[in-house]
Amino acid sequence: MKENPTRSLPGIPVLLVLLAVLLGSAYLFAGVGLLGGGGIAVFAGAILLGALALGGLMGLYMLEPNQSAVLSLFGKYTGTVHDNGLRWNNPFFTKRKISLRVRNFESGRLKVNELDGSPIEIAAVIVWKVVDSAEAVFNVDNYESFVHIQSEAALRAMATSYPYDQHEEGQVSLRSHPNEISEHLKEQLDERLSKAGVDVLEARISHLAYAPEIAQAMLQRQQANAVVAARARIVAGACGMVEMALAELEKNGVVELDEERKAAMVSNLLVVLCGDRGTQPVVNAGSLY
């Protein structure tokens, strides 16, 4: 059911008219009827006018900025009012006020299995607002509860579609691509919540971690990967330095080395450059050979 905007009357002029009718009814009832000796018709007219004025007062209601009123008559939807201030509509209309303000909430920490099967904890912050009051009221039973439950369902579905860490170049993961993950989560939320008249403005992951039972093991794996990457870079740099040193010695003619001595020199330089601790040099006071 789509929203159908409808008009309403300004409440203050209607209130003044109804108060004047009430005063007139009181005057007829007391001044003319009781003191002036009016007949039954005057009494009946005064009572009728008073009842109509009191009934008309029930049609007054107030809307604040970013608020709407969904009107229905005996269960039938008649329209939605967006005008702010004191308004008036048919007193028989049922008026349900809906907030159109921007809202946000943080989902609870969900425990799910990511794409590789590892258990993780994940939570997200969802920013949303109602854009169709009629759909929010009539399409779902409780639109606020609907938003919370569907948001958690979308977060679970999204978390199982991506790995926690990036294993290949260009692979999208939960930890390394927050913008892409947020966009995917927002698309899933829009698809699920559009039927409730809700628009998702932003969806971002607020908590992401391995589950406690595997957190230590995953930390060791991450540390091992970091050590391997660092070692690979150190070795690559050391090989370049050794190659440069041999080329400079040969170019400047400082010393002539055969293949065996070159191999020994390469081994010594790699030990010095790749070692974790400072080396203890041994000075050869004799000949090179």
**Per-residue confidence (pLDDT) for residue 150, from 0 to 100:** 93
Helix-, strand-, coil-residue percentages of the chain, each rounded to 5: 50, 20, 30
Q: How many CB atoms lie within 10 A of CB 62?
A: 12
What span, in angstroms and rounded, lies between the C-alpha atoms of 99 and 68? Answer: 7
- Does position 39 have pLDDT exceeding 70, yes or no? no
Pick the range with the lowest mean pLDDT from 87-91, 169-173, 175-179: 169-173
In this prediction, residue 125 carries a pLDDT of 95
pTM of this structure: 0.69
Give me the residue spans of the domains in the chain. 9-97, 103-210, 215-274
Side chain identity at 149, as an amino acid letter?
A: I
Which of 35-44, 213-222, 236-245 has maximum average pLDDT? 236-245
Q: Centre a 10 Å sphere on the Cβ of residue 68 and count the other Cβ atoms it contains.
A: 24
pLDDT, average across residues 138-161: 92
Choose which CATH entry (3.40.50.720, 1.10.1040.10, 3.30.479.30, 3.40.50.2000) describes domain 103-210. Answer: 3.30.479.30
Which of 40-44, 190-194, 253-257 has the weakest average pLDDT?
253-257
Q: Is the pLDDT of residue 93 over 90?
A: yes
What is the phi/psi pair of residue 83, to 5°?
A: -70, 135
